[in-house]
Amino acid sequence: MSPEAPPRRARAADPRLDTVPPPPADAATKSAGDRSSVRPPYLLDFFPLESERETRLHRFYERLAEGRLSTTRCPKEGTLHWPPRTACPSCHTEELEWVDLPERGTIYAFSAVLAGAPLGMEADLPFAVGLVDLDGAPLRLFGRIEGASYTDLRIGETVRVESYEVGDGRVFYRFRAGPGPGGPPVA
Amino acid sequence: MSGRAVALVGGATTRFGVRPTTWAEMAQEAGAALFRAIPELRADECDSLFVGAAEPERFAFQSHVAPLAAEQMGLRPRRILQRTELACASGQSAIRSAYAAIAAGLSDIAVAVGVEKMNLPSMAEANSAMGCVMDRPWDGPHGATAPPFFAMVAQRHMLEYGTTEEQLAAVSEKNHRFANTNPTAQFYAKSFTRDKLLRLPLVAPPLRLGDCSSMTDGAAAVLLVGEEFASRFTDTPVWVRGTGQYSDFHNLANAGSLTDWVGLKHAAREALGRAGITVRDLDLAEIHDCFTISEIVEYEALGLCGPGEGGPFAADGRGDVGGDLVVNPRGGLLGCGHPLGATGIGQAVEVYQQFAHQVPPSRQAPDPEWALVHNLSGSANVHSVMVYGRGRAA
Ligand SMILES: [Zn+2]
């Protein structure tokens, strides 16, 4: 990894504690459709552990918290990876660099989950998901698509990348359809 | 194929469905059914056990299931005891591992059993278990499970080739009709016309309930033996003649084309090539119809028809009795249900029974010489293929 500023927020103050801090009181209202304020047990939680003491990819989440979707690139070959990596799958160098990704993309395929949601996502039903070709980057990312009913989405439609707070200090990314206001702009 | 010839000499399947029974109890049930199906078999001569189980940790809160299954089945393996996990292909992986061990001379008489308990009091927890099959920290938080992925495959296939909901329903109608001849199937004695299937609720558009295989509890077991032991157990051994596997991605971002399953082409070429045949030689195929669209894309990737012709292939009955070959006569995953670890074993049981002419005439492939079994796993990112023949390798 290329050297970069240290993480700007530390989450779990005491590393001996095997818990995360309780979510802020307004967490449930920060973004519609997100999880309730009750965090599921780690082994039933799809959202990853994001801090520096839990993953070598913590910069991905730190940049995401600033509204920047990013990934790793191999400096030797210029290849973009998805998901971000700690070693290049082609030349196996571990000296990778972080790059920001485009903030817009085009829907390649989509569907919706109308029933059968995993634990913690039942209240989200129905929700749309899709594969999105990022504009100007050779990556086709899978993700939740907010901001429109699946019946109104179309292949070829433009969507925006946005980051959001999971509700307990963690962040994740998703797509938002239509021209309306989304999350913080992506750099 | 070089090495020692390996025969499939019998097997048995428990009832598949929403079962009021546990993982361990189903392992017992599969063992009892296997010993009933092969009365000549003695427990003390089974030197090895391979246990196909996808997610007992999630669905049954149980690890180390290989010795658990051995104890439940009354076996004391003394050569190889091993669990195989490859999600939806865990059962076929058990058979492949048993085959490899016998071909290598490390085992003579091996049992391959598949067990999965999937129905829990909490469907959301069961759905979470299914979500873990994907790239959990990247695709999982978006709500990725199999139905929306295969729905996107269907959407692209419809866009690129004009495939219709009616053609999807044709697959489901055929496999449910076959399941009506299979008392172990989850949907035995349940009738699904194409009209009825097209009125079922959407699960992940364009896929409806009848386009999707179910959460299923079930188990199955088969016996594989070295060539010199086959005649002790059956007059109709079925010979493992080829295997192939291929995997080229895991994260959904790296899937490439959704409608051209390159991995299946590679796996089938490897397996058919080892058997020395082409897809035209097949009399029956048990292929992975986790969703209706899967069977359609598989027709194409196997080369049974050209790209984009899978929908008409289904609607014209070319995979039905009286067609080019019989596809999924057991009832498929759609009709039998899909207990992940047991599915591949159940398919092999059907192949054995087809070659022995032990199935009802309405699903019997005429005098079969060659059969192919296929499982995909996850988001069709792994393809596993085995080819079975009536004849031992020349
Ligand atoms: Zn590289």
Cβ-Cβ contacts under 8 Å for A54 (sequence gap 6 or more):
none
Rounded to the nearest integer, the mean pLDDT of chain B is 97
Q: What is the mean pLDDT of residues B143-164?
A: 98
Q: What is the mean pLDDT of residues B212-219?
A: 98
In a shared domain, residues B45 and B157: no
pLDDT of residue A11: 37
pLDDT of residue B247: 98
Q: With CA atoms as reference, report the closest residue to B242 among B352, B96, B85, B53.
A: B96
- pLDDT (tens digit, 9 = 90+) per residue, B46-93? 999 999 999 999 999 999 999 999 999 999 999 999 999 999 999 999
pLDDT of residue A14: 34
Query: Is pLDDT above 70 for B22?
Result: yes
**Separation in Å, CA of A1 to nearest CA in chain B:** 20
pLDDT of residue B140: 97
**Separation in Å, CA of B121 to nearest CA in chain A:** 13
In a shared domain, residues B229 and B297: no
C-beta atoms of A116 and B122 within 8 A: no
- Within 10 A of B196 (CB to CB), how many other CB atoms are there? 14
In a shared domain, residues B115 and B227: yes
Contact B150, B258 (CB under 8 A): no
Contact B309, B265 (CB under 8 A): no
Q: Is residue B309 part of a domain?
A: yes
% chain A with pLDDT above 70? 75
**pTM of model > 0.80:** yes
Q: Residue B149: which CATH number?
A: 3.40.47.10
In chain B, whose CA is at the least distance from the CA of A49?
A: B137
Q: What's the angle, vertex CA B336, arms to CA B203 and CA B209, rounded to 5?
A: 10
pLDDT of residue A8: 38
Query: Is pLDDT above 80 for B366?
Result: yes
**Separation in Å, CA of B101 to nearest CA in chain A:** 32
Task: Give how many domains chain B has, as a whole number.
Answer: 2
Q: First and final CA of chain A: distance in angstroms?
A: 20
A117 Cα: distance to centroid of ligand 1 (angstroms): 37
Cβ-Cβ contacts under 8 Å for A85 (sequence gap 6 or more):
A57, A72, A96
In chain A, whose CA is at the least distance from the CA of B214?
A: A116
Query: Is pLDDT above 70 for A185?
Result: no
Q: Is residue B382 part of a domain?
A: yes
In chain A, whose CA is at the least distance from the CA of B158?
A: A109
Domain extent for B365: 143-209+241-388
Q: Which of A21-25, A116-120, B219-223, B276-280 has the lowest mean pLDDT?
A: A21-25
- pLDDT (tens digit, 9 = 90+) per residue, A8-37? 333 333 333 333 334 444 433 334 445 555
**Rounded Cα distance, B336 and B219, in Å:** 12
User: DSSP of A13-45, one letter per residue?
Assistant: S-TT--SPPPPPTTHHHHSTT---SSPPPGGG-
User: DSSP of A115-166, one letter per residue?
Assistant: S-PPTT-GGG-SEEEEEEEETTSS-EEEEEEESS-GGG--TT-EEEEEEEE-
Cβ-Cβ contacts under 8 Å for B18 (sequence gap 6 or more):
B119, B186, B215, B216, B217
pLDDT of residue B2: 59
SS (H, E, C) B106-144: CCCEEEEEEEECCCCCCHHHHHHHHHCCCCCCCCHHHCC
In a shared domain, residues B367 and B379: yes
In a shared domain, residues B356 and B384: yes
In a shared domain, residues B163 and B231: no
Task: Name every chain B residue with its beta carbon within 8 A of the beta carbon of A129.
Answer: 142-144, 148
* Interface ipTM: 0.96
% chain B with pLDDT above 70? 99
**Rounded Cα distance, B115 and B117, in Å:** 7
Report residue B32's pLDDT band, with 50, 70 and 90 as the boundaries: very high
B residues 141..160 contacting A (CB < 8 A): 141-145, 147-148, 151-152, 155-156, 159
pLDDT of residue A37: 55
Q: Is A17 exposed, middle or buried (0-12, 13-18, 19+ CB in 10 A)?
A: exposed
C-beta atoms of A127 and B143 within 8 A: yes
In a shared domain, residues B184 and B265: yes
Between A185 and B307, the higher pLDDT residue: B307
In a shared domain, residues B78 and B195: no
Task: Name every chain A residue with its beta carbon within 8 A of the beta carbon of B258.
Answer: 109, 131
Which tokens belong to B346? 């159940």
In a shared domain, residues B107 and B16: yes
B197 Cα: distance to centroid of ligand 1 (angstroms): 49
Q: Is residue B138 part of a domain?
A: no
Task: Name every chain A residue with its beta carbon within 8 A of the beta carbon of B250.
Answer: none
Query: Is pLDDT above 90 for A187?
Result: no
Q: Which of B118, B123, B138 to mutate to test the interface with A (most CBs of A within 10 A)?
A: B138
Helices (H), chain B: 23-37, 56-59, 65-73, 90-103, 123-131, 146-161, 165-179, 194-199, 230-233, 262-275, 292-301, 310-315, 332-336, 340-355
Report residue A181's pLDDT band, with 50, 70 and 90 as the boundaries: very low
In this complex, is the C-beta atom of B120 within 8 Å of any C-beta atom belonging to chain A?
A: no
CA distances (Å), origin A113, targets A74, A106, A121, A142, A155: 35, 20, 10, 14, 17
In a shared domain, residues B58 and B176: no
**Rounded Cα distance, A36 and B21, in Å:** 33
B116 Cα: distance to centroid of ligand 1 (angstroms): 40
In a shared domain, residues B254 and B384: yes
Contact B168, B192 (CB under 8 A): no
| Every domain of chain A and the residues it spans | 39-176
Between A21 and B379, the higher pLDDT residue: B379
Task: Name every chain A residue with its beta carbon within 8 A of the beta carbon of B252.
Answer: 131, 142
- Within 10 A of A123 (CB to CB), how many other CB atoms are there? 11
pLDDT of residue B338: 98
> Under DSSP, is residue A186 helix (H, G, I), strand (E, B) or coil?
coil
Q: Is residue B134 part of a domain?
A: no
Query: Is pLDDT above 60 for B27?
Result: yes
Task: Name every chain B residue with its beta carbon within 8 A of the beta carbon of A110.
Answer: 152, 155
C-beta atoms of B143 and A141 within 8 A: no
Cβ-Cβ contacts under 8 Å for A155 (sequence gap 6 or more):
A107, A108, A109, A110, B155, B159
User: Do the bridges between strand A104-113 and strand A127-134 make them parallel or antiparallel, or are there none, so unpaired?
Assistant: antiparallel
Contact A161, A185 (CB under 8 A): no
Which tokens belong to B368? 């079969």
pLDDT of residue A33: 47
- Within 10 A of B284 (CB to CB), how many other CB atoms are there? 27
CA distances (Å), origin A13, targets A37, A64, B83, B135: 20, 21, 41, 29
Query: Is pLDDT above 80 for A183?
Result: no
In a shared domain, residues B56 and B174: no
C-beta atoms of A142 and B141 within 8 A: no
C-beta atoms of B144 and A142 within 8 A: yes
